[in-house]
Structure 1
Amino acid sequence: MNYSTTTGAVFLLSLYLQYILGYTPQKAGLVLLPLPLIMVIVSPIAGELSDKIDPRILASVGMALTAVGLSFFSYVGFFTALPYVIAGQLVLGSGFALFSSPNTNAIMGSVKKRNYGVASATASTMRLSGQVLSFGIIILIFSLLIGKVQITPDTYFNLLGSIRVAFKVFAVACFMGILTTAYGKIASL
């Protein structure tokens, strides 16, 4: 669920920055750098913490931060300030990093050594399935709200609405992911 809610975020932000805010592709790329940079910083810390704290707790906290970060972007508009976009990326990236390393730790720690290959392959399959689902959701929302038209200034209002709806859908799905993770923790006690 986490990958299906986060994969399309960079794509949506790129469209938002270029079409709605009018940034060049190069400037949009630079503005999107805080997301991977914060992930590079937080991921190793999250990995170390997941050796000391139940990885499911860290993954749940990561999902919560991810949901908050996705929610940030469901309120972007035609005049959203750049610091808001950067702050949203920092929250989103921190959440994703707090989820990913502990999640992998929990998966690999739950199987015997002889099953590491199967567990790793299954986790990769789930990640890729989530990524595909993410773009399927975006395409569905764009098809319903924008239609089969070229993106021009006349369609920017619909594009912005589609981006907001996609981020809301992803945030709600991510919040549901928190509940399933928390339920899994409660059920295992």
Structure 2
Amino acid sequence: MEIDYVSVFIFTFVTTYTPGPNTISSAMMGVQVGYRRSIPYFLGIATGFFTIMLLGGIFASLLARVLPEVMKVFSYVGAAYILYLAYRVLYADYALSQNRAKLLGYKDGLLLQLFNPKVLVLALTIYTTFLGTIDRSVSALMVSALFLTAMSFSAISLWASFGAAFSHLLTSQKTRRLINGLLALLLVYSAITLVVA
């Protein structure tokens, strides 16, 4: 099966740019302490994210070698998870906490990835489904993990830079429904390509 890079991009874009622990905490940091003072936190997130993606790729590679028939099952499980994400995105709340946040650092961002279910499931989903046929060499896994990390870093940077603007823009129920609906449809498309391909 050939890799559908459009689906990989859509899935990665939607999962990294929609609200989750990384994006919401980064938005709060950007609003409360500014982008520049948040950079160590973002670098911690990026380091942890890259590590989880690389480990997810290695795990999927081992699984493909030991139990190759399980990979098709993961396609269906992955599609079901993506449909669940689409449902969650459709009803996502973009409200940011108004509490003053402490200045979070590198270690906080790094540790967040170990306890961030969205990142763990993203790694397993992407490497057992969309990238299930990727070259399993260390260099290919590192390049894919770097690409995914770059997407994540761009998402947290955007949320941090425009946190206040997002907060004001997304208070409109009509705007929120429109954005959520579009993102949910993109996820449904990604889920369909997994099981149809």
Higher relative contact order (CA 8 A, sep 6+): 2
- TM-score (norm. length: structure 1): 0.50
